[in-house]
Amino acid sequence: QSALTQPPSVSGSPGQSVAISCTGTSSDVGSYNRVSWYQQPPGTAPKLMIHEVSNRPSGVPDRFSGSKSGNTASLTITGLQAEDESDYYCSSYTSSDTWVFGGGTKLTVL
């Protein structure tokens, strides 16, 4: 059960857009539309931001969007705001009936 691969860090200025990639395998991301994204500010519990690749739970701003192509999923944040600065994790259901997380990406708003 290898972790999904995310870039360690990304950055952008307020108002800009950033994308965070999440690469898995044909046993997880590539086989299921069961990819979700979580936001975790320092010292707090994770919060669900995207589920089933591209669906936003109620209350999540539409600046957050998700997509997937092959074994790679992506989280895109448009119109960056200072409050978006956080750690972001992707997760996927796997063919072993387990879940796997990515290593996490630290988003810095410059």
Partner 1 sequence: QVQLVESGGGVVQPGTSLRLSCVASGFTFSHYGFHWVRQAPGRGLEWVAIIRPDESNKYYEDSVKGRFTISRDNSKNTLYLQMNSLRTEDTAVYYCARDGPNWNLDYWGQGTLVTVTS
Nearest Cα to Cα of residue 82 among 41, 49, 50, 46: 41
For partner 1, the binding residue among 5, 23, 25, 48 (CB under 8 A) is 48
For partner 1, the binding residue among 19, 31, 32, 61 (CB under 8 A) is 32
Tell me the closest approach of the beta carbon of residue 69 to partner 1, in angstroms.
19
52 binds partner 1 (CB under 8 A): yes
Q: For residues 83 and 97, which CB has a smaller minimum distance to partner 1 in the complex?
A: 97
Tell me the closest approach of the beta carbon of residue 17 to partner 1, in angstroms.
24
Q: Please tell me the distance from the alpha carbon of residue 85 to that of residue 54, in angstroms, as a whole number.
A: 20
Q: Please tell me the distance from the alpha carbon of residue 38 to that of residue 16, in angstroms, as a whole number.
A: 20
The dihedral region occupied by 73, where left means phi > 0, alpha psi between -120 and 50, and beta the remainder, is beta
103 binds partner 1 (CB under 8 A): yes
100 touches 91 (CB < 8 A): yes
Q: Which residues bind partner 1 (CB under 8 A)?
A: 1, 3, 32, 34, 36, 38, 40, 45-48, 51-52, 55, 57, 87, 89, 91, 93, 96-104
